[in-house]
Amino acid sequence: MVKFCWQHKFGLICSLISLDLAAIGHLPTVYILVATTSPLLCLVSPGLEDPRARWKEIGLGKELVCLDPHQGLFSHFRMTYQMMQAETQILKTKELSPEHNYLMGVHPHGLLAFGAFCNFCTEATGFSKIFPGITPHLATLSWFFKIPFIRDYLMAKGVCSVSQPAIDYLLSHGTGNLVGIVVGGVGEALQSVPNTTMLILQKRKGFVRMALQHGAHLVPTYTFGETEVYDQVLFHKDSRMYKFQSYFRQILGFYFCIFYGRGFRQGSTGLLPYPLPIVTVVGEPLPLPKIEKPSQEMVDKYHALYKKALTKLFDQHKTQYGCPETQKLLFL
């Protein structure tokens, strides 16, 4: 790491331009800085210059390496990357035509949305080969785009803000665009514990309205194993810790979750995810008419159809990926 930083010291210094107050103050200067720092960041980070190239194998190879404590810290990270690449998959059930735009509901959120990021922001699972002609964009909190370096990295990966102007732009400029929204949001992260299938969806209808306004097809997806890779400590709603988590969310926009997985040594506890499969199943697109000002009845109609399609998708694949036959989706 030291050798890499010394070799690219000039590019890294230039990237420090990203540390500017304009990014926090919403000044127009930030847009100029983003335009200049993103290419500079690409110079020092191989693979970022092409969003479609998203995280190819970067020379690590496909075989898994053994966990040897004498190999150094880098070997542990290399093993973790390779295991995540091997365990994460995307399953296509229907073709997505490049002649349309798509608004994709991503379920569940999980703690860190591993499946959504690996499958739709990188090429680790071969998205461009599975869905040729489709450009994916995963929407996340606008707050992340105010953080230097994080902002540039997310933009290089094709991530966009979950704000309406950003999504409107992507769905109204050309075709073949797919915008993924983790509908449950940060509230669903607090529900993320193993063996649960609770989705915050019952009152989340804004994405359906947006799809109707642009005539974009709705695509249901479900990621099996997303809630299994970490354990989370849950607190009672009357406890001080739960109140602190709620206050933390009000300030920063996301929950302060206490979670744990495995450590570097076998059988130990740490922050690495459990080596379990994560499979994102992409369902059949639901065609929607283009209505500039959809009524609430129209939104409710297609929201109900979306829930039905998502439930059908889950029921068709749940036993294949470790869920019991009696397991049901619960909408909160």
CATH, residue 131: 3.40.1130
The beta-strand segments (E) located in the chain are 88-92, 102-107, 135-140, 160-161, 177-182, 198-199, 217-224, 231-232, 259-262, 269-270, 278-282, 330-331
Name the 3-class secondary structure at 90.
strand
Instruction: Spell out, as residue ranges, where the chain has pLDDT lower than 70.
Output: 1-86, 252-255
pTM over the 0.85 mark: no
pLDDT score, position 233: 86
Whether 215 is in a domain gets the answer: yes
Whether 217 is in a domain gets the answer: yes
Structure tokens at 310: 């998502």
Name the 3-class secondary structure at 179.
strand
pLDDT score, position 17: 43
Domain hosting residue 290, numbered range? 89-331
In 3-state terms the chain splits into helix, strand, coil percentages (rounded to 5) of: 40, 15, 40
CA distance 254 to 256: 7
Whether 25 is in a domain gets the answer: no
Q: Name residue 108's amino acid.
A: P
Q: Name residue 54's amino acid.
A: R
pLDDT score, position 253: 67
What angle (nearest 5°) sits at the alpha carbon of residue 274, between those of residues 273 and 280? Answer: 80
Computed from CA positions of residues 104, 144, 51, 26, in that sequence, does the dihedral angle turn out positive or negative?
positive
pLDDT score, position 301: 97
- Cβ-based neighbours of 97, under 8 Å, separated by 6 or more: 133
pLDDT score, position 143: 82
pLDDT score, position 254: 67
Structure tokens at 220: 């249901």
Number of structural domains found in the chain:
1
What angle (nearest 5°) sits at the alpha carbon of residue 138, between those of residues 134 and 140? Answer: 165
Structure tokens at 24: 């926090």
CA distance 124 to 88: 8
Whether 60 is in a domain gets the answer: no
73-117 confidence digits (pLDDT tens): 444 444 444 445 447 899 999 999 999 999 999 999 988 888 999
217 HSE (CA, 13 A, CB side): 23
Whether 235 is in a domain gets the answer: yes
Whether 325 is in a domain gets the answer: yes
